[in-house]
Amino acid sequence: MLMQYNKNLIWRALRLGAGAFALFFLLTSCSETEKSTPTAAEPATTSPVITIGLVMKTLTNPFFIEMERGARRAEKEYGIHLLVKTAAQETSIQQQIGIVEDLISRKVDAIVIAPGDSIELIPVLKQAQDAGIVVINIDNPLSPEYSSKVGLKTVPFISVDNELAAYQSASTLTRLMQQPTEVAIVEGIRGAQNAEDRKKGAIRAFNEHPLARLVASQSANWKIDEGYAVTEQLLHAHPNIGAIFCANDMMALGAIKYLQTADMKHVLVAGYDALEPAKQAILHGSLVATVDQQAAEQGYQGILFAVRALRGETLAPVTLIETRILTRLELN
């Protein structure tokens, strides 16, 4: 209809003379130019859509569901296309490697990864960099020594101070001790730097307190069922254990389940991640504390950093997000 209307005006202008036609042409040209120019808030439709792959460990842990929620918020705000990929389990490192290889073949613009291991994924991430893909690391750091050996260029890292937060979580247990107490640590995946850092923080908290004596430390691989089984093994070997620090809430929930089954509710437990079931356990008195490490914010910032890197911005090598210790006092 608009085209027909313009044609009629052209014929009328021609009948009125060359001057009128020239004036008409000038006015309509200006109108069309203004119409095709995008506003600052509306990206040009001809711009290619950025594709970013988010690679996480699993979606069986609510922590990573929260991480995806934050990433989806960034996707909406920045108008990018987000591909979310996860392995079956947090220990499925080879599956994560395969996911990265697939994203390389898809020629995505950037990969944001929460690696299940701090070493094994480095070679495939080097392949991604060699293919011109931006790599951003969140949650669990990559080994700087092995990265340098393989030739992986500096990868911006976004996470929290895991050692400090674990120290603070374990300290909530020692503050409740009124007599000499045997304590234990339920670790995450050995070899994953965030798991090692949380273990170090808990050891420091226990070693600093005169009433705490660390008698055992064992991995439950971040899993709730293994948290249950490992707690059972620890209590059978050391029946006088009075406090346990678990490096994530999934393992803490498994530990609590065993303690309830074995009628050993006097054993104090602290966790890490601020999952909703853990918060409820704190309110019910079966868990002493957990760590809110803002999973959604880590996901959001990971995507934001990828967008900024693709724009050519210089990024800080390490960005730490603030953590918060949650106890019943904070949740009430």
**Single-letter code of the amino acid located at 313:** E
Q: Do domains 51-160+295-322 and 162-292 have the same CATH topology?
A: yes
For residue 7, pLDDT over 80 is answered with: no
Contact in structure between 217 and 190 (CB atoms under 8 Å): no
Sign, Cα dihedral of 10, 16, 17, 23? negative
257-303 pLDDT, tens per residue? 999 999 999 999 999 999 999 999 999 999 999 999 999 999 999 99
For residue 5, pLDDT over 50 is answered with: no
SS (H, E, C) 242-280: EEEEECCHHHHHHHHHHHHHCCCCCCEEECCCCCHHHHH
For residue 320, pLDDT over 70 is answered with: yes
For residue 10, pLDDT over 70 is answered with: no
For residue 89, pLDDT over 90 is answered with: no
The neighbour count for residue 50, using CB atoms within 10 Å, is 20
Please state the domain extents for the chain. 51-160+295-322, 162-292
180-234 pLDDT, tens per residue? 999 999 999 998 999 999 999 999 999 999 999 999 999 999 999 999 999 999 9
Across the beta sheet with 318-320, the strand order is 81-86, 51-56, 110-113, 134-138, 157-159, 318-320
99-129 pLDDT, tens per residue? 999 999 999 999 999 999 999 999 999 999 9
Q: Token pair 């006097």 is at which residue?
A: 266
pLDDT of amino acid 47: 58
Protein fold of 51-160+295-322: Rossmann fold (3.40.50)
Q: How far apart are CA 250 and CA 177, in angstroms?
A: 24
pLDDT of amino acid 60: 86
For residue 3, pLDDT over 80 is answered with: no
Protein fold of 162-292: Rossmann fold (3.40.50)
Give the confidence band of 38 by pLDDT, cuts at 50, 70, 90: very low
- DSSP labels for 180-224? -EEEEEEE--TT-HHHHHHHHHHHHHHHHSTTEEEEEEEE-TT-H
Give the confidence band of 235 by pLDDT, cuts at 50, 70, 90: very high
Q: Any idea which of 4-18, 49-63, 270-284 has the lowest mean pLDDT?
A: 4-18
The neighbour count for residue 198, using CB atoms within 10 Å, is 28
Q: What percent of the chain has pLDDT over 70?
A: 86
For residue 315, pLDDT over 50 is answered with: yes
pLDDT of amino acid 188: 97
For residue 309, pLDDT over 90 is answered with: yes
